[in-house]
Structures are given as structure tokens and as C-alpha cells.
Amino acid sequence: MPRKPVCFGCLAAGILLAMTAGAAAQRGALAVDGLRAFSHVEKLVGFGPRPTGSPAIAKAQAYIIEALKKLNLQVEAQDFLATTPNGAISMKNIVGKTRPSRDSVVILASHYDTKLIASTSFVGANDGGSSTGLLLDLARVLSQRRDASLGIWFVFFDGEEAQQEWSETDSLYGSRHFVERLKAGPHFPSVKAMILMDMVGDRDLKLENDASSTSWLMAMARKSASELGYENYLATAQRAIVDDHIPFIRAGIPAVDLIDLDYGFNHSFWHTSNDTLDKISPKSLKIVGDIVVRLIDKLSRKP
Ligand SMILES: [Zn+2]
């Protein structure tokens, strides 16, 4: 077979094309992808209702751990036995760490359990699913940054939901346990801030101006949103929210909760069988993800 003559123009064009494709892939790798985050939520919802201690939550745990390992993160499972009004229940927090040797750490977190609701198929696409899917895509994005000065821990809490009625003792099992362990360990002084995401997938996104969050960190998050042109997605009126960020604030760690607590007309989709995939959107996940990435950038420049 005769050898084809080499076309130097084609070769140059080919190299240019390859470089452009490479640059595009690099850009894609460094930005949150709403569709990727959404596809993680689809997987989680596909396991069915995922209350603490259920066979379905075990599938969600395996899925999260595998996804973090694929990103070459250092993965730890915190197993503990929680005392609840429904008896002792085995729970598991999952932690993925990037750049674990850094002495300045930011924690990004979400709960991944869904509330146990008898006689209802509550799959928690938004409540439990959305923030978990987004956190997995943020792990992909933020672990690939070479220039980053911060260590980032991606923390997935079990047992955020009450077993029966929400109270100080019947809620936030995973985050309370995590903070107790953190305080007892050597890394406590390294943790500079905690960013919580919860119910961030609502198609009609409006992030709360949470009065319980650390004020300078909330201001920084809102500034990040405004700079990105996302001010329309910020609620103005303040309200105080109790969520997985509270144990951190009580321990003296600055923390912010990015949450939309107005889900459906009069919050009517919340904790009901209406919390399904069609109520959330890749676009909302992308918006919140972009805000978090920009907030991390600001935190990395903060002395
Ligand atoms: Zn809930």
C-alpha cells in the first residue's frame, strides 16, 4: 500500500484541533456541570427512599464511596451508633479529602439520608438528593485544581433527618457526631470554614438569607452569587435555619447554609411524595455549584 503524502497543513490543523479540544476539556473539568450533578441525583433517587439504616441507604453509601475513590480522594467512613427515639441505629458519615496535608481546610457538606415517612414513597430528589449529587460534582471539579492552596473535605452526613419529631436530640445525628470527633482530633484548628448545601435543586431556586449562618461568610456567599449575575436567586428577608451547619457554629467554626426552604407552592413538596426528579433542575444545581466554587476562591485568598 503506498504511503500517503504528509499534509503539513492538515497536521498543524490537527494539532490545533487537539489543543483546542484539550483546552475545552480542561475548562469543562474545572467548572460545575449541572447535568453531571443531576445524573448523580438520578442514581440516588433510583435506590428509592433512603432513610438511615435502610438497605437503600447502604446502596447510596456504596455509590458515594465509589464515586469519591474514582476521583482519587482519600476516603474515610465514620461509622457510629446513634441513640434515637426508634432505638440505636448504625449510621455512617462519608468523608473524601483532597490535598489532605494542607493546614488550611474548608469543609463542603450535604446530608444524604432521606426522612423516614411511613406510607409515603419519599425519595428526596431535592431533600437529600440534590445537594449530594452536587457535592459529588464539586468533588470532581475542586479536586482537579492544581493551584489550590486549601485542603477541601467533602463530607456526606447520615442522619440529618429526625426519626420522629425534629428536636435538639432527634436530628442532625451525623453532623453532631462529626463535630465531636473533629474536636477530639488534631485537625480541628485547621478547619477554617464549613459550607453546607441542602435542598439546592428546586427549579424555582431562591437561596435563603439564613440568620443562623456566620454573617461574614453568608455575605461572602451572597457577594459571590451577585458577581456571577445570580442575585435573582437570593432571598432578601432573613430567617434562622437549623441544619447541619449548627454543630459547626457551636464549635466556633464559621459556617454557611445554602438552602432553599420554599419548595413548591407554600413549601408543599417538602417531605412528601412530590419531592421527585421533575421538581429539580440541572440549572439550579449549576447555579449553586458556581456560587460554591467562587466562594472557595474567595476563601483561598482570605488571610
Ligand atoms: Zn428533610
Quick: pLDDT tens for 252-265: 999 999 999 999 99
Res 29: pLDDT: 55
- Classify 226 as helix, strand or coil: helix
Split at pLDDT 50, 70, 90, the class of 131 is very high
- Distance from Cα 207 to the centre of ligand 1, integer Å: 16
pLDDT at residue 6 greater than cutoff 60: no
Under the banding of pLDDT at 50, 70 and 90, the label for residue 12 is very low
Q: Is residue 65 pLDDT above 90, yes or no?
A: yes
Could you tell me where the DSSP H helices lie in the chain?
8-29, 34-46, 55-70, 131-143, 173-184, 215-227, 246-250, 282-301
Instruction: Note the pLDDT tens digit of each residue in 145-196.
Output: 876 789 999 999 999 999 999 999 999 999 999 999 999 999 999 999 999 9
Name the residue ranges covered by the structural domains of the chain: 32-301
The alpha carbon of 161 and the centre of ligand 1 are apart by a number of angstroms equal to 6
Q: How many Å lie between the centroid of ligand 1 and the Cα of residue 118?
A: 14
Contact 196, 243 (CB under 8 A): yes
Binned at pLDDT 50, 70 and 90, residue 13 comes out as: very low
**Average pLDDT in the 20-46 region?**
78
Task: Calculate how far, in angstroms, residue 272's C-alpha sits from the geometric centre of ligand 1.
Answer: 10
CATH 3.40.50.300 fits 32-301, yes or no: no
Q: How many CB atoms lie within 10 A of CB 250?
A: 11
- What spacing in Å lies between the alpha carbon of 104 and ligand 1's midpoint? 31
pLDDT of residue 17: 43
Distance 65 CA to ligand 1 centre (A): 22
* Mean pLDDT, residues 221-239 taken together: 97
Task: Give pTM, 2 decimals.
Answer: 0.90
